[in-house]
Each structure stands twice: as structure tokens, then as C-alpha cells.
């Protein structure tokens, strides 16, 4: 067994770790401890970043909700304003139609009055021409003088009545 190479490798290995084991273990433990500390620091930083991100998310959600509420309010006010404008336009259109109807009725009434006046004037002219024709063909000079005398005699009475 003393001549076996594997035995001497094992002995050398044990002596090597016996002499340098503490130093190697200390270096390894130090490296592992520093690595663990850096991981702890990164975890703490990640945790604070996550908390900050969650706060930013809450703030963004609150701002989004406020913007949605404001948009709903603007839309509802816009709809109310549009309804009011439509109602005002409808009322104005009805008033305008009523004014135009009144103006048309006034024009029709004026045209009727003008037509009646024209018909009366034409009838009076026709009656005067017809009366002149009848009087000139049927009355003599004596009858004409008698009519003039009768009209003159009735003139004071007609003036008092007027």
C-alpha cells in the first residue's frame, strides 16, 4: 500500500488541505460572504425599485382614473351643451317659421285688401259710366234741371248730417 500512487496522492492531498485548508477556506468564505452581501444589496435595491415602481403604478392609475373622470365630465357637459344648443336652434327655427308665416299672412291680407279696393274702384267706375250712360239716354233737360234743384235744396241737410 505504501507503494501505491493513489495512496500518496491522497496523503499529499490531505497534507495540502491540512496546511492550506484554513487559508483556502477563509478566502472561499470571504468570497462567498462578499458575493452574498452584494446579492443582499442588489435584493434590497430591487425591493426599493419595486416599491417605487408600485408607487408610480398607483400614481399612474390614479392619474388615469382622474383623466377618465374628467373626460366623462367633459363629455356629459358637451352633450348637455349640444342638447341646449339644439333646443335653442329648434326654438329659433320655430320662431322664424312663425314670423315668416305672419309676414306671409300679412302680405296675403294686404293683397286681399288691395284686390277688394281695386274691385270696388272698378265697380264704382263701371257704375258711374253706366249711370252716365243711362242718365244721358233717359233724362231730358227739364228732368236734369229738376234733379240739380233738388240736390241743391238737400245740400244743407246733408252737410249737417256729416
Residue 1's pLDDT is 61
Domain definitions of the chain by residue range = 10-161
* Structural contact between residues 13 and 19, judged by C-beta atoms closer than 8 angstroms: no
What size, in residues, is the chain?
A: 162
Cα–Cα distance, 151 to 91 (Å, whole number): 64
- pLDDT tens sequence across 51-103: 999 999 999 999 999 999 999 999 999 999 999 999 999 999 999 999 999 99
- Residue 157 pLDDT greater than 90, yes or no: no
Q: Indicate whether 162 pLDDT > 70.
A: no
pLDDT in tens, 93-148: 999 999 999 999 999 999 999 999 999 999 999 988 888 888 778 877 787 788 78
Least confident of 13-22, 90-99, 153-162: 153-162
Average pLDDT over every residue of 27-32: 91
Cα pseudo-dihedral 46, 49, 50, 55, rounded to 10:
170
H helices present in 139-154, as ranges: 141-153
Output the pTM of the full model: 0.43
Amino acid at each position: 500500500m505504501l507503494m501505491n500512487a493513489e495512496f500518496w496522492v491522497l496523503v499529499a492531498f490531505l497534507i495540502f488541505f491540512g496546511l492550506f485548508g484554513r487559508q483556502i477556506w477563509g478566502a472561499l468564505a470571504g468570497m462567498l460572504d462578499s458575493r452574498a452581501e452584494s446579492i443582499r444589496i442588489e435584493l434590497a435595491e430591487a425591493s426599493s425599485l419595486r416599491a417605487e415602481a408600485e408607487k408610480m403604478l398607483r400614481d399612474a392609475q390614479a392619474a388615469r382614473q382622474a383623466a377618465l373622470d374628467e373626460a366623462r365630465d367633459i363629455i356629459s357637459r358637451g352633450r348637455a351643451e349640444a342638447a341646449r344648443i339644439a333646443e335653442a336652434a329648434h326654438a329659433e327655427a320655430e320662431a322664424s317659421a312663425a314670423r315668416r308665416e305672419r309676414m306671409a299672412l300679412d302680405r296675403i291680407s294686404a293683397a286681399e285688401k288691395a284686390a277688394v279696393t281695386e274691385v270696388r274702384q272698378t265697380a264704382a267706375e263701371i257704375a258711374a259710366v253706366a249711370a252716365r250712360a243711362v242718365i244721358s239716354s233717359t233724362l231730358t233737360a227739364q228732368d236734369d234741371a229738376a234733379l240739380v234743384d233738388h240736390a241743391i235744396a238737400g245740400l244743407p241737410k246733408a252737410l249737417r248730417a256729416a
